[in-house]
Structure 1
Amino acid sequence: MWNSINNLRLMSPSIPAIVKIILFFSTWIVLWLPAAIVLAIALKWHPPQPLGNKKLPLLASLYVIVPFILWATSWIENTSFANWGWDWQPAVLMSLMRGLGLGIISLVILFGLQLTAGWIELQIGEISTETGEKKINPWALIFNPASLLTLLLALWISGTEELIFRGCLQTILQQDYSMLIAAAIASFIFALAHLIWAAKETLPQLPGLWLMGMVLTLARIADNGSLGLEIGIHAAWIWGITTVDTEGAINPTGRAPEWITGIAAKPLAGAAGILLLLATATLLFLTQISVNQG
């Protein structure tokens, strides 16, 4: 087996990038399936049942083997995680924090504009005993144990996904394609990968997920090849949308069609979410121009 892996390393420069990607995902799935089957039996789940709260254990079992897959890939490719944008320098942490801030601000703008327009309404808060009015306390939604745990999970998920799709896959694809084509392919795979968890809910989000991948690629470019900024943005989006969804914090009022606010209350399946992505892309593009001119 070791000879086969060593031969693969020697042959790697001559293997088409698409074939490498197919081998990457095939290996990942083959290694994950035994654990997935055992977990599915233990959780008493089988397709096509909805995953619900059973998704997290299956997702964790899928992502926990990623470091080993990526390490093997980096060895075969004779490269390092640093070349994929993953570095432990303090500057990366600062970029991650900036990304978190940018992602949170973008969501505040997204939901804030819809609230102002009357397209959605807040469902959280407490009824005042004096006035009978509903008092909104967003800090209680953000700073609670469940929300903070969601943030940690969001950082793990976004870090894993960005290292895979915008780090490893993007770099490998650029061996045979331009940066733009490589980003388009990697983003397409990124969007399709979400079908594994909830195909019916994900289908309307595919265009938004693809565009999200392109925007995150632009974030890597704006961050001089580092993954820090895009991990932060991605984590903020996961954290904010998941928290709002699980807490039932907002509800469409019906004053705007679903294609605007998001089909099934999924922002990426609506025009508002798409505009959020385009606005973020514009800001990243302008930031890159400013850095280049500076």
Structure 2
Amino acid sequence: MWFVPDFKSLSETSLILSLNSCLLLAQSFWLNAIAVLRVLVFFVLWLVCWLPIALPIAKAVKWRFPQPISPAQKLPLLASLYALAPLVLWGIVALEGKGFKDYGLPWQSDLLRSFGGGLAFGSLGLLSLFLLEWRLGWVKRQLPPTESSLATESTETITAQSPVPVLPTLLTTLLIGTWISLTEELIFRGFLLTTLQSDFVPWVAATIASLIFAVLHLVWEGKENLPQLPGLFLMGLVLVLARSVDRGNLGLAWGLHAGWIWVMASLDTLGAIHYQGRVGEWATGIGNKPLAGAMGLLFLLATGGILGLAF
């Protein structure tokens, strides 16, 4: 009786062996690569995976690089980019044989407690900054229009304004801030910082991670974000400090970051403050961006000082 080989089974077995060999080679390369190369590979892989999603979205919202991008165009692109990041990072974590807890994200009650403390500290601290600027006469409070106030306005004003739903706005900006900050902390103070610390002393790793964090914010706004670079760099350092005082966990940094985004996004959406122009932009922030002004930098320094002393 003649033996007839099962070519289908042989091809499937060969394919499995080939895939296993590729995975072993990728794992060997990754584990033996220097930190800077691993960081570069991560960002390139993230970009390559995102482009097939981003190109149709960019076409749908009618945006072409390097044209200026509006918030309405930016949101779906940013959402798709940030939704993809944890998946790419999960693949790397699996390749390393680690878990997200190794990057400072253990899913434990301590993480949520630290997040809550950071959220309160970050949001109240930033509100205190605007309160100080209001007391100095640098900014003016503007209450969002309501239905009753609009009823007394002229027809032209009514058509130009609409009631602002304060509570839904606050909840929406809180959710968005929580999501964006979690993604950025996992990437920059989680994966990036931890990876760099394998080849560099902590302060060098913190400097490089914070510089990358600041520079990558130029991708969306371009030259408009240049005045914010020192503030973004300092912000990155403060968030590195927050992870350090939280015993290597990201909860405190996540909460701080979320609190800052929450307050800024809420005030912008509600139009709650107006800069009076009584002091130069160097103080309050170029282009009304607090990170591009002396007060914003002092606020970050004060936050870092409090973290170092209190924790």
TM-score (norm 1): 0.90
What RMSD, in angstroms, separates the aligned Cα atoms of the two structures? 2.0
For 1:63 and 1:124, locate their aligned partners in 2 and report how far apart those are by CA, in whole Å: 33
Partner of 2:200: 177
Letter matched to residue 41 of structure 1: K
Cα distance change of structure 1 residues 64 and 218 upon mapping to structure 2, 3 Å threshold: same
- 1:12 is displaced (CA, Å) by 2.7
Partner of 1:105: 124
Q: Which of 110, 131, 145 in structure 2 is aligned with 1:91?
A: 110
Give SS of 1:87's match.
coil
Matched-pair contact (CA < 8 Å) for 1:162–1:231: yes
For 1:142 and 1:12, locate their aligned partners in 2 and report how far apart those are by CA, in whole Å: 49
Letter matched to residue 10 of structure 1: S
For 2:282 and 2:85, locate their aligned partners in 1 and report how far apart those are by CA, in whole Å: 35
Partner of 2:305: 282
Matched-pair contact (CA < 8 Å) for 2:188–2:209: yes
- 1:186 is displaced (CA, Å) by 0.8
Matched-pair contact (CA < 8 Å) for 1:51–1:197: no
- 1:51 is displaced (CA, Å) by 2.3
- 1:14 is displaced (CA, Å) by 2.2
- 1:53 is displaced (CA, Å) by 1.5
Q: Which of 217, 226, 234 in structure 1 is aligned with 2:249?
A: 226
Does 2:147 match 1:121?
no
Q: Which of 271, 275, 290 in structure 2 is aligned with 1:267?
A: 290
Partner of 1:46: 64
Matched-pair contact (CA < 8 Å) for 2:68–2:221: no
Does 2:262 match 1:239?
yes
For 2:229 and 2:300, locate their aligned partners in 1 and report how far apart those are by CA, in whole Å: 13
For 2:216 and 2:23, locate their aligned partners in 1 and report how far apart those are by CA, in whole Å: 26
Matched-pair contact (CA < 8 Å) for 1:9–1:75: no
Query: Following superposition of structure 1 onto structure 2, how do residues 200-211 of structure 1 map, counting pairs within 5 Å?
Result: 200-211=223-234
For 1:97 and 1:75, locate their aligned partners in 2 and report how far apart those are by CA, in whole Å: 29
Does 2:213 match 1:190?
yes
- 1:76 is displaced (CA, Å) by 2.4
Kindly provide the CA deviation profile for residues 184-203 of structure 1, in whole angstroms up to 9, marking residues without a partner as x.
Answer: 11111111111111112211
Matched-pair contact (CA < 8 Å) for 1:43–1:54: yes
Cα distance change of structure 1 residues 82 and 99 upon mapping to structure 2, 3 Å threshold: same
Q: Which 10-residue stretch deviates more, 166-175 or 43-52? A: 43-52
Kindly provide the CA deviation profile for residues 19-49 of structure 1, in whole angstroms up to 9, marking residues without a partner as x.
Answer: 0111000000011011111001111122313
Larger Rg: 2
- Structure 2 unaligned residues grouped into runs of 5+: 1-18, 150-162
For 1:28 and 1:13, locate their aligned partners in 2 and report how far apart those are by CA, in whole Å: 19
Kindly provide the CA deviation profile for residues 139-184 of structure 1, in whole angstroms up to 9, marking residues without a partner as x.
Answer: x989511221111011000000000000111110011001111111
TM-score (norm 2): 0.85
Give SS of 2:217's match.
helix
For 1:91 and 1:25, locate their aligned partners in 2 and report how far apart those are by CA, in whole Å: 30
Q: Which of 30, 41, 50 in structure 2 is aligned with 1:23?
A: 41
Letter matched to residue 111 of structure 1: F
Q: Which of 10, 13, 36 in structure 1 is aligned with 2:28?
A: 10
- Structure 1 unaligned residues grouped into runs of 5+: 130-139, 289-294
Partner of 2:156: none
For 1:185 and 1:277, locate their aligned partners in 2 and report how far apart those are by CA, in whole Å: 18
For 1:87 and 1:274, locate their aligned partners in 2 and report how far apart those are by CA, in whole Å: 31
